[in-house]
Amino acid sequence: MSSIISISNLTKTYASGVQALKPVSLEIKRGEIFALLGPNGAGKTTLINIVCGIVTSSGGTVLADGHDIVRDYRLARMKIGLVPQELHTDAFETVLHTVSFSRGLYGRPRNPEFIEKVLRDLTLWDKRNAMIRTLSGGMKRRVMIAKALAHEPTILFLDEPTAGVDVELRRDMWDMVRSLREKGVTIILTTHYIDEAEEMADRIGVINKGELIVVEEKAALMKKLGKKELTLQLQEPLTAIPAELSDWQLDLKADGLELHYAFDGTSDPNATGRGISSLLKRVSELGIGFKDLNTKQSSLEDIFVNLVHRDSGAGK
Amino acid sequence: MRAPLFNVHGVSAIYRFEMARFTRTIWQSLVTPVITTSLYFVVFGSAIGSRMQDVHGVPYAAFIVPGLMMMTLFTESIFNGSFGIYFPKFVGTIYELLSAPISPLEAVVAYVGAAATKSVVLGLVILATASMFVSIDIAHPIAMVGFLVLIAVTFALFGFILGIWANSFEQLNVVPMLIMTPLTFLGGAFYSIEMLPAAWRVVTLFNPVVYIISCFRWSFFGQADVPVALSVGLTVAFFAACLVAVGMIFKTGWRLKN
C-alpha cells in the first residue's frame, strides 16, 4: 500500500452553516512531502484538524496508515504529530516538561535520550529548563514542533509552519523537514506562500472554498502555475488568426484588436521554437502591425481564480 | 501493532501535569486552608463554641469539623476539576488533548483523579489542623476516608463538567460561589438540622448538601440527621449522573470540538 493517508469524500459543515469542506478525496503517499496550498479560509486547517481529531467531520472517512481515524483512533493518532498554526503553549511549564508530557500523552513510555535528541535537533536543549513564557515567538514555535515529534510520529502535519517565522528558523525548519523525510516521515504542510510549496513539496494540492481543485506533482503544477501571458495590441483588427500562427495557440480578443499568447514561464519556450521572439518575428513577417505589447506573469491569485473558474466550468 | 487497551502513559502524564501545578504552589495551596481552619476555630470553636451546648453529646468545636472539611472539599474539588480542563480550553493547548490517543474515560480519570487527590489532601490537612484545637475521635475511620474520596471524586467530576461548560472565568466561579457556598452554609455545616424550627427542617431536606454533610458527620460521631444509606445513595446517584453527562459531552464533542 503506497498511501499513508486515504481521505475519501470528507465533508464538513459547521454549526453556523458554513460548508468548510465539500466532498474531498485525497491520497497522501508514504514518505512524501505534500503541500496543501490555498488562500485563507480555503479549508486547509479544517482538513488537517479532522484528520488529527480536533474537528468532527460531517461525512466521509479517513484512514491513517490503514487505521480509521474514528474507529481505530488510538492507533491512528499514535502515528500522527501535529504542529498547529497558533502558538498554544503552557506558559508556566518548562520546555523539557512540556515535551516529555506530550510523549506520555501519546501513549509512549519515557525516553529521556530521545527527548534530548529532539530538543538538540531543534536547538532547544540549552533552553530545556526555561519556562515557555520566557521564550521568543520563534523558540515557542520550535517547542511546538518538539512536542509534535516527541512520540515519534510517522506522519507530521505542519499547519502554516512559517507564518510569522524569521528567516533563520524558516531555514532550520526546512532542514528539519528534509531530514525527517529521509527518516521516512510523511509530511503534510499547509501554506499560502507558493514559493514555500515550490521549495519543499513533492506534490501539491490546491484547495479553494473547501474544494480540492488540483493535486499534482510539483513539477507539473509549477508549469501550470507559472503561466505568462503576452498581449499584442494590433493596429488593424483581425477577423481570424492566420494559419501561419497556429503553432502558438493564440487567442483573439477585443473584437480582433488583441492577440493573446499564454505560455509556460518556467521552461525556455524559445528552445521549442514557440517562444516570444519567434512569434514576434512571424507576426512582422506576416505584416501584422501592433501598437503596443505587454507581458504579464500570473499571480497566485490569478491562478486560483483560473483554477476555480475552470473547475466550475467543467462541473456544468 | 495493537492498540493499548488503556493509555497508562497518557493518564499518568496528565495526572502528573495537574499535580505539578499543585506542588508548584504548595505553600499557597496548603497554608490557606490551615489559616482559614484556624480562624474558624478561633471564632466558632473558642469564641462562640464555648457558649454553645454540646450537640448530641459532641462538643460544638468538634461538631463543626466534618462541616469545615466538607466546605473546603466542595470548593476545592469543583475549582480544581473545572480549572484543569477550562485552562487548556482558554489558552488553546486543548488541541493536544483532542488529538491524542486518549479515550474520554482516560481523560476524566486523569483530570478528575488529580483534582480529587488535591482536595483529599486538603481535607486531611484541615482535619490535622482541627485536631490541634480539639480532640476528635473518629467512630468509623474507614467509612470516613471512603466518603472523603467519594465526595472529592464526585465534585471534581461535577467541576470537570463546569469547566467544559464555562466560556469565561466568571462562569467558572458562578457555581462554586453562588450555589455551593450558600448550600453548604445552609446544609448543616455548623449546626444539626434538628436545631432548626420544624418548617425550616423540611425546607432543608431539599438541600442535597445536607445529606452529604450528614453522612460525613456520621462517620465521625455515629449520628446522622438523615439515614446514612439515603445519603450514600444520593451521592452515588449524583456521581452517576455526572458520569453520564461527561460521556455525552465527549460523544457529541459539546464545547470541545466544532
Over range B126-145, report the average pLDDT.
Answer: 92
Which contacts of B244-248 are long-range, i.e. CB under 8 A and separated by 24 or more positions? Answer: B245/B161, B246/B104, B246/B108, B246/B157, B246/B160, B246/B161, B247/B104
> Given an 8 Å threshold on Cβ–Cβ distance, is A106 in contact with B10?
yes
**Given the C-alpha cell 486523569, which residue does it identify?**
B110
Closest alpha carbon to A102 in A141, A150, A144, A142: A150
The residues spanned by each domain of chain A are 3-223, 227-297
Q: Do B91 and A89 touch (CB under 8 A)?
A: yes
The pLDDT of residue B27: 84
Among A210, A207, A159, which Cα is nearest to A38's?
A207
Residues of chain B found within 8 Å of residue A147, distances taken between Cβ atoms: 96
Residue B224 is predicted with a pLDDT of: 87
Cβ proximity of A157 and A66 under 8 Å: no
Q: How far is A19 from chain B (nearest CA, A)?
A: 13
For residue A301, what pLDDT is reported? 58
pLDDT at B118 over 90: yes
> Would the CB atoms of B102 and A105 count as touching at under 8 Å?
yes
| Residue B96 with chain A: CB contacts under 8 Å | 88, 102, 105, 147
The C-alpha cell that represents B183 in the structure block: 448550600
Mean pLDDT in residue range B9-28: 91
Would you say residue B257 has pLDDT above 90? no
Instruction: Tell me if B148 sits within 8 A of B73, measured CB to CB.
Output: yes
- Asked if A82 and B99 come within 8 Å (Cβ–Cβ), the reply is yes
Q: What is the dihedral of CA A58, A193, A159, A199, to 10 degrees?
A: 120
Question: Residue A48 in contact with residue A82, Cβ under 8 Å?
Answer: yes
Fold of A227-297: Alpha-Beta Plaits (3.30.70)
Condensed to tens digits (0 to 9), the pLDDT of residues A167-198 reads: 888 888 888 899 999 999 999 999 877 777 77
Cβ contacts of A74 on chain B, cutoff 8 Å: 3-4, 7, 101, 103
CA distance readout (Å), A179 to A31, A33, A173, B16? 12, 11, 10, 33
CB contact under 8 A, A104 and B12: yes
Residue of A nearest to B1 (CA): A75
The architecture (CATH level 2) of A3-223 comes to 3-Layer(aba) Sandwich (3.40)
Q: Which residues contact B96 (CB under 8 A, 6 or more apart)?
A: A88, A102, A105, A147, B88
Nearest CB neighbour to A56, from listed B9, B13, B257: B257
Residues in A touching B102 (Cβ below 8 Å):
105, 107
Report chain A residues whose CB lies below 8 A from the CB of B9. Answer: 103-110
* Cβ atoms of B68 and B42 closer than 8 Å: no
Q: Is A53–B98 a contact, with Cβ atoms under 8 angstroms apart?
A: yes
Nearest residue, CB atoms, B14 vs list A75, A105, A108: A105
Q: Provide mean pLDDT across the span B20-31.
A: 85
Query: What's the pLDDT at A137?
Result: 87
Give me the pLDDT at residue B82, please: 95
* Residues of chain B with C-beta less than 8 angstroms from the C-beta of A115: none
A110 vs B contacts (CB less than 8 Å): 9
User: Per-residue pLDDT tens for A56-111?
Assistant: 999 999 999 999 999 999 999 999 999 999 889 988 899 999 999 999 999 999 99
Residue holding cell 479515550? B103
How do residues A21-68 score in pLDDT, each as one tens digit? 999 999 999 999 999 988 888 899 999 999 999 999 999 999 999 999
pLDDT at A274 over 70: yes
Residue found under cell 486547509: A44
How large is the ipTM?
0.90
Average pLDDT for A226-239:
83
Interface probe, candidates A47, A54, A111, chain B, greatest B C-beta count within 10 A:
A54
Residues in B lying within 8 Å of A, measured between beta carbons = 1-4, 7-10, 12-14, 16-17, 20-21, 24, 91-93, 95-103, 253, 257-258
pLDDT on residue A314: 45
- Checking if the pLDDT of A272 tops 70, the result is no
CB atoms within 10 A of CB A250: 19
Sheet containing A211-217, strands listed edge to edge, beginning at the edge strand earlier in sequence: A80-83, A155-159, A186-191, A33-37, A203-208, A211-217
Q: For residue A50, what pLDDT is reported?
A: 96
From the list A54, A91, A93, which residue is nearest B95 (CB)? A54
Q: Please tell me the predicted confidence (pLDDT) of residue B133.
A: 87
For chain B, what are the domain ranges? 8-252
- Nearest-Cα distance to chain A for B169, in Å, is 18
Contact between chains at A109 and B14 (C-beta distance less than 8 A): no
Are A107 and B258 inside 8 Å of each other by CB? Answer: no
* Calpha distance B37→B242 (Å, rounded): 30
Going by C-beta distance under 8 Å and a sequence separation of 6 or more, which residues neighbour residue A203? A29, A32, A33, A34, A35, A215, A216, A217, A218
